[in-house]
Structure 1
Amino acid sequence: MIKSSIQGGTTVKAKDVVMLLILSALWGGSFLFMRISAPALGPLVLIELRVLLAAITLMIFAMITRHRIQILHKCWQYLILGATNAAIPFTLISYAELRLGAGLAAILNATTPMFTALVAWLWTKDRFTLKKFSGVVMGIIGVGILVGGGSSEQGSHLLRSASFSLLAAIFYGIAGVFSSRHFKGERPMDMAIGQQVAASLLLIPFSLNALPHVIPSRVVLFSVLGLAVFCTAVAYLFYFALIHRVGPVKTLTVTFLVPVFGVIWGGLFLREAVTIRLVIGLIILLFSVAFVVHIRFTKPRTSETVP
């Protein structure tokens, strides 16, 4: 039996843990698929295909489940959400992965909670505690370890690519605060569809001017399908199911697991080296996330049992 609990919620069941692992594996896999596809298709075309195919997949699922899509009443809000939570950060990560490995890109993406806390503090005057500040400092140290070292030329290229990943995390932070202020009461399925549709519309004029001149290989095409259908559409379904079953706080633990899976997939399929520097940077960033999001694992009450 699995008996685990996060302060402020109910016990997590074995099924929920499995769903969490699947979601983490899917989102970790997105960095693998982008690393494979971005050099062949270009970041703009790749992300246009990602959000368009994801939107189509989610709309088909909505039709099958007889979910009535309602997104037109918040057109401009969905455009902003689609830009800040999909179109811009997805594209920035794809640009980063023209040079960065999948594992390193996944680890840098774990800075999202840190930037979300900073954005919330600046935008909504959310309380910025000493614990959050400590988490931010640790995050900066972790990033410094990950991107430091190497020759000056290598370091310059690495820093430039890493900056794209960090900028993507900033946009995720902006999107998180924006959605909490403007999408209260909105159904998660509508938010997922609205975000992907809006992102697709925003990227169309840019992607049409960046079409590749060579037909991509089967590996690239399968990577695009995996990225759009599994790592985006299906992953969102798991994400919403977890929020419904265990709540948003427990679902935040996915932040700890995504970079781990990113490193695993990069090592297995792309033979990326797992260096001491990478491991140390990952550990420090995960501690940073723990400080920022205030997740504390506690023993469940004696009355809480898991079948």
Structure 2
Amino acid sequence: MNTPNAKGWLADFLILSAIWGSSFLFMRLASAELGALPTAALRVTIAALFLLPLLLAKGHGPTLRQHWKPIFFVGLLNSGIPFVLYSFAVLHISTGLSSILNATVPLFGALVAWAWLGDKPTVSRSVGLAIGFGGVVLLAGGQASFKPNASGIAPAWAVLACLAATTCYALSASFTKKHIPSLPPLVTATGSQLGASLALAVPALWFRPEHLPSATALWSLITVGVLCTGVAYILYFKLIENAGPARALTVTFLVPVFAIAYGVLLLGESVTAWMVACGAVILVGTALSSGLVKLPGRWTGKSRT
């Protein structure tokens, strides 16, 4: 990779990390007034409206019509349900903690791929799974109180919501690999947001807020829909094309850094040494379990020739 391409990859990497890190902040601001379900529903609807013209301009409409059923289902599993769960979680635990738990997506992805697709992990990846889940237990254990906090909801429910969301992401990845053929990324991205929009429309109307939201909530909603979902998808696919899927996946590791920074600076959230330490353990386990980092040969019983 030459120097200009390397610089472009690093720029896209940092921008995407900063954008996705901010999604937790904007979800908090929107959900506080709109509620979790309407926030998630409007987020995917705004993203779909942003991506659909791009899809049609590229001439991918027939492709989406041909494969709409599995793509729409992936939208519910990969966007609709997780966005509801995170919109709920950020109201009851810090955005920083939510983002650290979100960083376990590759960890759960490796476990689901093993159980569902028979993708048996190597020794190095198995060690990573053990380390990563150990970090999750330690981190979640510190927040596992079922005693309601100031929000009226026990933090443990928010932690479980985040872990359920990461499980949905993992299931979606394996379902996509097994049931959806290789399609242009824009087709899957747009179709998934359309599917999620349709799935959440009726529940969101049922739980709609009684009062009009403030300008802050509305702008947060527009930003999380257009920037953190629509634009982020485009940047992510560009990153995959320029740097490869393995490097693109490492964006997960930097997202919590930005999310924690936004939470501290703009929401006045606190970060504990225990949270940072457990987050580091989780990231190490995730790096190993996803194959991005491998143990030396002497740990795996393989020669180093």
Same fold (TM over 0.5): yes
Are 1:191 and 2:193 counterparts? no
Partner of 1:68: 60
Give the conservation status (yes or no) of the 8 Å contact 1:79–1:199. yes
Counterpart CA distance in 2 for 1:162 and 1:266 is 17
Mind listing any 5+ residue stretches in structure 1 that lack a counterpart?
4-10, 298-307
Q: Kindly provide the CA deviation profile for residues 143-164 of structure 1, in whole angstroms up to 9, marking residues without a partner as x.
A: 2332334776269922211000
Within 5 Å, give how 1:1-307 maps onto structure 2.
13-63=6-56, 65-69=57-61, 70-149=63-142, 153=147, 157-296=154-293
- C-alpha distance in structure 1 between counterparts of 2:27 and 2:188, whole Å: 23
Partner of 1:304: none
Once the two structures are TM-superposed, the CA of residue 72 in structure 1 deviates from its matched residue by 1.4
1:100 aligned partner, one-letter code: I
Opposite residue 198 of structure 1, the aligned amino acid is G
Q: Distance in 2 between matches of 1:152 and 1:88?
A: 23
Confirm or deny: 8 A CA contact 2:55 2:190 kept in the other structure: no
- Supply the distance in 1 between the matched residues of 2:140 and 2:270 (Cα, whole angstroms): 15
Is the contact made by 1:54 and 1:196 (CA closer than 8 Å) also made in structure 2?
yes
- Is the alpha carbon distance of 1:12 and 1:177 closer, same or farther for their aligned partners in structure 2, counting shifts above 3 Å? farther
Contact 1:147 1:158 in 2 (8 A): no
Matched-pair contact (CA < 8 Å) for 1:54–1:232? yes
SS at match of 1:160: helix
Matched to 2:116, the amino acid is W
TM-score, normalising length from structure 2? 0.89
62 and 275 in structure 1: CA distance in 2 versus 1, 3 angstrom threshold:
same
- Residue 141 of structure 1 aligns to a residue whose secondary structure is helix
The one-letter amino acid paired with 1:182 is H
CA–CA distance in structure 1, aligned partners of residues 91 and 251 of structure 2: 25
Inter-CA distance 220–2: structure 2 relative to 1 (3 Å threshold): farther
Deviations 1:161-209 (A, max 9, x none): 1000000000000011111222332000111100000000011111110
Q: TM-score, normalised by structure 1?
A: 0.88
- How far apart, CA to CA, are the structure 1 residues paired with 2:237 and 2:288? 25
Structure 1 partner of 2:301: none
Distance 1:90 1:111 in 2: 16
Paired residues of 2:71 and 2:180 also in contact (CA < 8 A)? no
Distance 1:189 1:221, change over 3 A: same
- Give the secondary structure class of the aligned counterpart of 1:233: helix
Distance 1:154 1:283, change over 3 A: farther
Letter aligned with residue 203 of structure 1: L
Instruction: Judge which range, 230-239 or 146-155, deviates more.
Output: 146-155
Distance 1:152 1:86 in 2: 27
RMSD of aligned Cα (Å):
2.1
**CA–CA separation in structure 2 for the residues paired with 1:292 and 1:187:** 27
Alignment correspondent of 1:302: none
- Measured after TM superposition, the shift of residue 24 of structure 1 is 0.9
Deviation at 1:219, TM superposition (A): 1.0
Distance 1:12 1:250, change over 3 A: farther
Q: CA deviation at 1:107?
A: 0.4
Aligned 8 A contact 2:85 2:162 in 1: yes
Structure 2: which amino acid aligns with 1:281? C
Is contact 2:260–2:271 with CA below 8 Å preserved after alignment?
yes
